[in-house]
Structure 1
Amino acid sequence: MKNVIIVRHCKAEGQAVDAPLTAQGIQQALELAEFLSDKGIDHIVSSPYRRAFDTIKPLANLIGVEVVVDERLTERVLSGCNEPAWREMLRQTYDDLDLCYEGGESSRTAMHRAVRVVEEVLQNSSQNAVIVSHGNLISLLLKYYDNRIGFDEWEALTNPDVYQLNFHSDVLMIQRIWTS
């Protein structure tokens, strides 16, 4: 059996690539490290965004596992423009996975790049891996494995949030194991 733990980053000061964690987010990252420290983590993959990397760095330091940075875990870009109606636009992309706004990425495209990361983790020698990313991408990744997940589940995600995917033979079990 393989376990893949999916982590949404801790509270950050914004959405920019280099947005740091807030003081509360730094504390959350330390609590998250303690929470995950006894899970036998032997592989960590993170989005290159600072808030994701800084979320998992305390765990990596605590257990002595190097963080592998993977560009495919960056947040999904909904549109190339700042759209006032972005929430409704996002809602529509859960119903139509191929809907793609100008300058953006469809849900299906984003979903598949995240799934490829999980598939690679399942093929490597690790038994308990952590993947750290962002809310929309994580919700799409979870939707790939459970089609009932959609906009409402994205909206209910917390910072941080943690899901465990247990892969055993042909059976997958998804369990939320942390919320803020």
Structure 2
Amino acid sequence: MNKEVYIIRHCKAEGQEPGASLTKEGMAHAEKLRVFFQGKEVDRIVTSPYKRAIQSIQPLGLEKGVAIEEEIRLEERRLSSEPLTDWLEKLERTYYDMELAYEGGETSRIASERAMSVLEEVLHGEGEIIILVTHGNLMSLILGEFDQSFGFEEWKRLSNPDVYRIKPFRRTVERMWMED
């Protein structure tokens, strides 16, 4: 199999809640994503059901005539159900302890398994060129499955949007998006 999977982190949004819309800058970046993929075949688009993820890929889906499939397993990882003033420090710990969970949150291992189950399904499904649209933390966990060096510091360097290409059967990861 020669499948390629593009993993996209959504464009800039007005907030973190599931219904948060893209900012004006985020909408402009969604248009840049459309242009970025203009010369590429796209067989499938699977996205987090969060509004910002859907809005990030809608221009491309419309241009390519590819249906946007919503997949709840691509929603952002829940760190905790409680507000955390030191959330960044707590998040960093979860990259070093894959079993660490905070109140009402999920471990990095469980979030990674959830995301990887989607990847496995699309790899054994229709299409050769597949786009997955998700969120930064979940994206970094997926990338870490293919590149062990991808961790907290790499997560911090992700942009909104960001695009990585995975060639799963070769186990290669390549950043494709260059910030403007």
TM-score (norm 1): 0.97
Question: What's the RMSD between the two structures over aligned residues?
Answer: 0.8
Q: 1-side partners of 2:148 and 2:130: how far apart? A: 23
How many residues end up aligned between the 2 structures?
Answer: 178
Q: 2-side partners of 1:177 and 1:33: how far apart? A: 14
Deviations 1:22-54 (A, max 9, x none): 011101001101111222111000000000000
Give the equivalent residue in structure 2 for 1:22.
Answer: 23
Identity percentage of aligned residues: 46
Is the CA contact (8 Å cut-off) linking 1:158 and 1:179 kept in structure 2? Answer: no
Structure 1 consecutive aligned stretches of length 4 or more whose deviation exceeds 2 Å: none
Q: Which runs of 5+ in 1 are unaligned?
A: none
Could you tell me which amino acid in structure 2 is paired with residue 44 of structure 1?
Answer: I
1:34-73 counterparts in 2 under 5 A? Answer: 34-73=35-74
Q: Does 1:74 align with 2:69?
A: no
Q: Which runs of 5+ in 2 are unaligned?
A: none
Give the equivalent residue in structure 2 for 1:178.
Answer: 177
Could you tell me which amino acid in structure 2 is paired with residue 75 of structure 1?
Answer: E
Is the CA contact (8 Å cut-off) linking 2:146 and 2:172 kept in structure 1? Answer: no
Q: 1-side partners of 2:86 and 2:26: how far apart? A: 28
Give the equivalent residue in structure 2 for 1:128.
Answer: 129
Q: 2-side partners of 1:30 and 1:50: how far apart? A: 16
Partner SS state of residue 103, structure 1:
coil
Q: 2-side partners of 1:102 and 1:23: how far apart? A: 34
Deviations 1:45-99 (A, max 9, x none): 0000000000001000000000000000000010111111111100000000010
Give the equivalent residue in structure 2 for 1:5.
Answer: 6
Partner SS state of residue 36, structure 2:
helix
Q: 1-side partners of 2:34 and 2:131: how far apart? A: 11
Give the equivalent residue in structure 1 for 2:145.
Answer: 144
Partner SS state of residue 83, structure 1:
coil
Q: 2-side partners of 1:107 and 1:49: how far apart? A: 20
Deviations 1:103-153 (A, max 9, x none): 100000000110011111100121000000000000011111111111100
Q: 2-side partners of 1:101 and 1:35: how far apart? A: 38
Q: 2-side partners of 1:7 and 1:127: how far apart? A: 17
Is the CA contact (8 Å cut-off) linking 1:20 and 1:50 kept in structure 2? Answer: yes
Give the equivalent residue in structure 1 for 2:156.
Answer: 155
CA shift at 1:102, angstroms? Answer: 0.9
Q: Does 1:106 align with 2:107?
A: yes
